[in-house]
Amino acid sequence: MKIAAVSNDGTTISAHFGKARYYVVVTVEDGVVVNREQRDRSAPAQQVQGTTPGPLTHHDRVLAPIADCQVALAQGMGGGMYQQLRQAGIRPIITDVVDIDEAVSAFIAGQLVDLA
């Protein structure tokens, strides 16, 4: 399973999904974190061409870098992005936990509260 957290510094979850610079993507296998990487939040247009019918949207570019993730963590996000994540098969979780490692650990333990 891959969990994406929006971040501006690589260690804390950003206050708003749409204003973050990066994704911190954590790979979890058998309840253990096995990989952690930082990705740019917005993909170039050529990376997402053809992934959705119709014109390429801002949300398409923003979601392309985490298309392989199952969960997205943020402290807040707009309703449009929330729905886009769900439609992409990514579970959005709104949390008040600021530290990425702490939030991921709580998610793994089934104790991360979704404030949505």
Residue 48 CA to residue 60 CA, distance in Å, equals 7
pLDDT of residue 25: 98
Q: Identify the pLDDT of residue 56.
A: 56
User: What is the full per-residue pLDDT of the chain (116 aa) written as tens digits?
Assistant: 999 999 999 999 999 998 899 999 999 999 999 999 999 987 554 444 445 555 556 667 789 999 999 999 999 999 999 999 999 999 999 999 999 999 999 999 999 999 98
Following DSSP, what letter does each residue of 46-87 receive, concatenated? Answer: HHHTTSSSSS--HHHHHHGGGTT-SEEEES---HHHHHHHHH
Contacts (Cβ under 8 Å, ≥6 apart) of 24 = 4, 5, 7, 10, 36, 37, 38, 39, 100
Residue 115 falls inside a structural domain: no
Query: Is 45 inside any structural domain?
Result: yes
Q: Is 116 inside a domain boundary?
A: no
The pTM (predicted TM-score) of the whole model is: 0.86
What's the total number of domains in the chain?
1
Q: Which CATH number do you get for residue 7?
A: 3.30.420.130
First-to-last CA distance in the chain?
21
Residue 114 lies in a domain: no
